[in-house]
Chains A and B, each alone.
Chain A
Amino acid sequence: NAGVTQTPKFRILKIGQSMTLQCTQDMNHNYMYWYRQDPGMGLKLIYYSVGAGITDKGEVPNGYNVSRSTTEDFPLRLELAAPSQTSVYFCASSTSGTQYFGPGTRLLVL
């Protein structure tokens, strides 16, 4: 199993550009999450999903959108990038209360 994979690893965006962060898991987990982690800090929940077709907002959803058309994939969309969205983004999936994290996508908005 590859676990949770994320692409791209690193991206630089200009203010106002849009992009999609990809997340795929091959563990057949129903629950998936998107977090952001600012330098030296813990993780803040952006959006989560309890299964295909179901998504809900976390603590910091503004400026982001998600979709969950399949169990495996949970992409995160930034429509109008802002410097405040410079961060490292982690996707996770979970079963029985244990979350498994991807390696992260480092995003720089200039």
Chain B
Amino acid sequence: TQLLEQSPQFLSIQEGENLTVYCNSSSVFSSLQWYRQEPGEGPVLLVTVVTGGEVKKLKRLTFQFGDARKDSSLHITAAQPGDTGLYLCAGEDNTDKLIFGTGTRLQVFP
């Protein structure tokens, strides 16, 4: 069974701080996706990374896919209260299904 572990599980920070969320596995994925989920809603796709070593930026969010395509990170610069939510990574396995990570709950205080 493929597993994706995210760390930290919970993160509570002040507005303006930087943070990094990690997504690790012993399995190789063909691609890795990051989602943000707000209370009472479904997850919304933020980004997909496909190539080992790939880095993608989305405003203040930087996503990196590990060289071996087993891990990924999400870095947020100068966090805002609007960044609050549950962040989920999801790896695409060799049958085109997504394996979701355990999630990181982020709270950004004004």
Which residue numbers of A lie inside 8 Å of B, CB to CB?
4, 35, 40-45, 48, 58-59, 90, 92, 97-104
Contact present for A45 and B101 (CB under 8 Å)? no
Q: Which residue of A lies closest to B102 (CB)?
A: A42
Q: Which residues of B contact A98 (CB under 8 A)?
A: 45, 48
Contact present for A90 and B98 (CB under 8 Å)? no
Contact present for B31 and A97 (CB under 8 Å)? yes
CB distance from B25 to the nearest CB of A (A): 12
Instruction: Pick from B4, B9, B31, B98: contact of A45, CB below 8 A.
Output: B98
Contact present for A43 and B97 (CB under 8 Å)? no
CB distance from B65 to the nearest CB of A (A): 14
User: How many residues of chain B are within 8 Å of chain A by beta carbon?
Assistant: 25
Pair count A-B, CB < 8 A: 51
Query: Given A41-B103, A58-B97, do A101 and B44 touch, yes or no (CB 8 Å)?
Result: yes
CB distance from A99 to the nearest CB of B (A): 7
Expressed in whole angstroms, the Cα–Cα distance for A4 and B6 within the complex equals 27
Q: Can you name 16 A-B residue pairings with CB atoms under 8 Å?
A: A35-B100, A40-B9, A41-B103, A42-B88, A42-B103, A43-B88, A43-B100, A44-B100, A90-B43, A97-B33, A97-B92, A97-B96, A101-B42, A103-B40, A103-B42, A104-B41
Expressed in whole angstroms, the Cα–Cα distance for A35 and B100 within the complex equals 10
Q: Which residues of A contact B100 (CB under 8 A)?
A: 35, 42-44
Expressed in whole angstroms, the Cα–Cα distance for A50 and B99 within the complex equals 17
Expressed in whole angstroms, the Cα–Cα distance for A55 and B39 within the complex equals 30
Contact present for A45 and B97 (CB under 8 Å)? yes
- Report if B105 contacts A (CB, 8 A): yes
Q: Which residues of B contact A100 (CB under 8 A)?
A: 45
Instruction: Pick from B42, B45, B98: contact of A104, CB below 8 A.
Output: B42
Q: Which residue of A lies closest to B100 (CB)?
A: A42
Expressed in whole angstroms, the Cα–Cα distance for A59 and B1 within the complex equals 9
Q: Which residue of A lies closest to B10 (CB)?
A: A40
